[in-house]
A = this chain, B = another copy of it.
Amino acid sequence: MLKITRKVEYALIALRHLQQNKQAKLCSAKTLSLKYDIPQELLAKILQKLSKENIILSVKGPKGGYKISKDPNTINMTKFFEIMEGPMGIVDCYFDSNCEQLSGCTIREPINRINNSIRTMFDKMTLADITFK
């Protein structure tokens, strides 16, 4: 319960590495997967998503790989989580209304207050809080 996904963790590990080696040329998915013991194909897809979102820059071909392309201070964690995993809420009704209980739900309001607290907390936090500190 209340877990972040492995996908997000792998993304953060990779981003931290790229951030702290940003003076270096490029770093490939393979290099990162070996260094941090992350399944290569899975990490590759994660890096592709980060690239598509212009958080990192990708270069194809031999000697290719990835490097940081956006200041991690400018990306807040709510946004980052939603880029990686879609809408973020501790219950589904925050972004989807298919809940059986919705019509007569007595806890939706208090639950949404909690939701907003968590979102606010992550809004105030940036990628740099994880990739730097």
Q: Which B-chain residue is minimally distant from A86 (CB atoms)?
A: B1
Any B CB within 8 A of the CB of A26: no
Q: Using C-beta atoms within 8 Å of the partner chain, give the interface range for chain A.
A: 35 or more
Any B CB within 8 A of the CB of A73: no
Asked if A91 contacts B4 (CB within 8 A), the reply is yes
Residues on the B chain within 8 Å of A57, using CB: none
CA distance A117 to B2 in the complex (A): 13
Asked if A81 contacts B118 (CB within 8 A), the reply is no
CA distance A129 to B129 in the complex (A): 30
Any B CB within 8 A of the CB of A105: yes
* Best-surrounded residue of A2, A13, A17, A90 (most CB of chain B within 10 A): A2
CA distance A17 to B3 in the complex (A): 28
